[in-house]
Amino acid sequence: MTLAPAPVFRMALRVYWEDTDAAGIVFYANFLKFFERARTEWLRTKGYSQEQLRTERGTGFIVTDASISYRRPARLDDLIDVTVALTRVGQASLQIAQQALRIVPDGTNELLADGTIRIGCVELGTYRPRRIPTEILQSIQ
């Protein structure tokens, strides 16, 4: 179902040398790393660690679709806020809207990238779709 505007989770992170490329900016694939970190921390605030899901239940979340628009380049030493908003919940999948914003000291944050990530719940090993455990569904909404 489509959800009412979701409370947004935020995670701040720093751009390090490892994230940049020879064009002097953050390499495009690395925004998906930033997005993943924020989703993991968001899930942790709901009381679930991914390691725990994996070892206790043999269940994992995998990304099935990702789309991302790059608005402005991010640079070394930038401080970036990455947001997570749950926008759609299915029986075996979640849709999440994410943004990366450069934190500017005067408060006028700048949008660097935004995208939509679709997550599927799967049985580890086979990677077959699996219903999202009820208590997780209840926690995250």
Catalytically active residues are: 21
In angstroms, the CA 57 to CA 110 distance is: 40
**Number of residues written out for the chain:** 141
The site for a second copy (CB under 8 A) is made up of 14, 16-18, 20-25, 27-30, 32-33, 36-37, 40-41, 49-52, 54, 60, 62-70, 72-73, 75-77, 124, 127
Q: What is the closest distance, in whole angstroms, from the C-beta atom of residue 80 to a second copy in the complex?
A: 14
Q: What is the closest distance, in whole angstroms, from the C-beta atom of residue 4 to a second copy in the complex?
A: 26
3-state secondary structure 22-38: CCCCECCCHHHHHHHHH
38, 82 contact by CB (below 8 A): yes
Specify the residue, 41 or 85, whose C-beta has the smaller distance to a second copy.
41
Specify the residue, 52 or 141, whose C-beta has the smaller distance to a second copy.
52
Q: What is the closest distance, in whole angstroms, from the C-beta atom of residue 118 to a second copy in the complex?
A: 9
Q: What is the closest distance, in whole angstroms, from the C-beta atom of residue 138 to a second copy in the complex?
A: 22
| Direct distance between the N- and C-terminal alpha carbons of the chain, in angstroms, rounded to an integer | 11
Burial of 77 (0-12, 13-18, 19+ CB in 10 A): exposed
Specify the residue, 12 or 141, whose C-beta has the smaller distance to a second copy.
12
Specify the residue, 6 or 118, whose C-beta has the smaller distance to a second copy.
118
